[in-house]
Amino acid sequence: MSRLSDVLAAARAEGRAALIGYLPAGYPTVDDGAAAMVAMVEAGVDIVEVGLPYSDPLMDGPTIQAAVEVALQHHTTTDDVLASVRAVAETGAPALVMTYWNPILRRGVRRFAGEMTDAGGSGVITPDLTPDEAGEWIEATDETGLDRIFLVAPSSTDERLRYTTDHCRGFVYAASTMGVTGARTSVGNLAEKLVARTRAVTDLPVCVGLGVSNGDQAAEVAAFADGVIVGSAFVRRLLDAPSAAAGRSAVADLAAELAAGVRRTT
Q: Give DSSP secondary structure letters for 82-113.
A: HHHHHHHHTTTS-EEEE--HHHHHHH-HHHHH
Residues 6 or more apart whose Cβ sits within 8 Å of residue 123: 2, 4, 94, 96, 97, 146, 147, 148, 149, 169, 170
Helix (H) or strand (E) holding 25: none
- Reference 83, options 40, 128, 32; nearest CA is 32
Q: How many CA atoms lie within 13 A of 28 on its CB side?
A: 15
Catalytic (active-site) positions:
49, 60
List strands edge to edge, sheet with 123-125.
147-149, 123-125, 95-98, 47-51, 18-24, 227-230, 206-209, 172-175, 151-152
Angle at 195 between CA 194 and CA 200, to 5 degrees: 100
Amino acid code (one letter) for 107: R
CB–CB of 232/181 below 8 Å? yes
Helix (H) or strand (E) holding 2: none
